[in-house]
Amino acid sequence: MGVLSAIVDSGSFGAAAEVLGMSQSGVSRAVARLETRVGVRLLDRTTRSVTLTDDGRRLLDQVMPLLAALEEAMSTALGGAARVHGRLRVNADPFFCQRVLAPHLGDFLARYPELQVEIVSRDQLGDMVADGFDLAIRFGVPRPSSLVARKLLETRILTVAAPAYLARYGRPAKPEELANTAHTCIRYRDPETGRPFEWEFKRRRRTVKVDVAGRLTVNDVATMHGICLAGEAIAQVMTLGVEPYMADGRLVELFADWPDDVFPVYAYYPSRHHMPARVRAFLDFVIAMTEKLAAL
């Protein structure tokens, strides 16, 4: 059962073998013996992925609490926490990686010298289990799935422009003016749907949606920031990442009286009772890091 759990956690027989310190053939034989003993197929294997069958998922859901309790009892008896080692694979939003994770990742690595970490920047969540990820970090409201979604923080959405843009085109007095072709707004493409995000403005219980004018659509936050800083357009941006631009006046908030539009950041991990020590350690690290950001 420990081998089966490792395969599901790591996403492949080879990765499980590396984590467990076994040969890949040894992992395959262990699964074959387990399937023979229970009399059902537990894993669907393809050249691209390994996933649990319905029977395998039911078995794992029933047994994992018992294994977790046994591991906790062993850890308590040994007088210490579970050892954080092996390989950790994280699927993270590129902007979160650049602005939040990268400056602090060295501290995490120094804390756990036996851990190998692979950070993969992706625009989409995809299939975490099939792709062999232990944990993911994404912006946006979670869609229904079997994954556990843990909210890390919420960041305000600001409508901003550079002083050079306002000097050239004037400052809009209310959100509805952004539908006027006299203004140029940058649309940002939602990586999950492929469609640009709607421009919304929220104040208490009121929400206003504006079909903004503008011919430019982007899918990269840094590009959107660069265009806006150059004075070429108005943008809706997350507070996270633009604090220096706001502090030194390179960007100006246009509608401070519409302050209630926020965008969340979530951590995702497989929906099972048992969490490997390496995943728990990284999740605790990210939670502590984002709590400090939220307090600023």
Query: What is residue 81's predicted lDDT score, i.e. its pLDDT?
Result: 47
What number is the average pLDDT over the span 209-215? 92
**Between 143 and 217, where is the model more confident?**
217
Write phi, then psi, for 155 (nearest 5 degrees). Answer: -120, 140
Beta strands in 251-292 (DSSP E): 252-253, 262-269
Confidence (pTM): 0.69
On the question of pLDDT at 94 being above 90, the answer is yes
Q: How confident is the model at residue 179 (pLDDT cuts 50, 70, 90)?
A: very high
Q: Helix, strand, coil proportions of the chain in percent (round to 5)?
A: 40, 25, 35
For the chain, list the domains and their CATH numbers.
Answer: 2-78 (1.10.10.10), 86-153+264-295 (3.40.190.10), 155-261 (3.40.190.290)
| DSSP labels, 59-116 | HHHHHHHHHHHHHHHHHHHHTSPPP--EEEEEEE-HHHIIIIIGGGHHHHHHH-TTEE
Share of the chain above pLDDT 90, in %: 53
Mean pLDDT of the chain, nearest integer: 88
Retrieve residue 17's tokens: 């073998």
**pLDDT tens readout for residues 228-259:** 999 999 999 999 989 999 999 999 999 999 99
On the question of pLDDT at 60 being above 90, the answer is no
CA 293 to chain centroid, in Å, comes to: 16
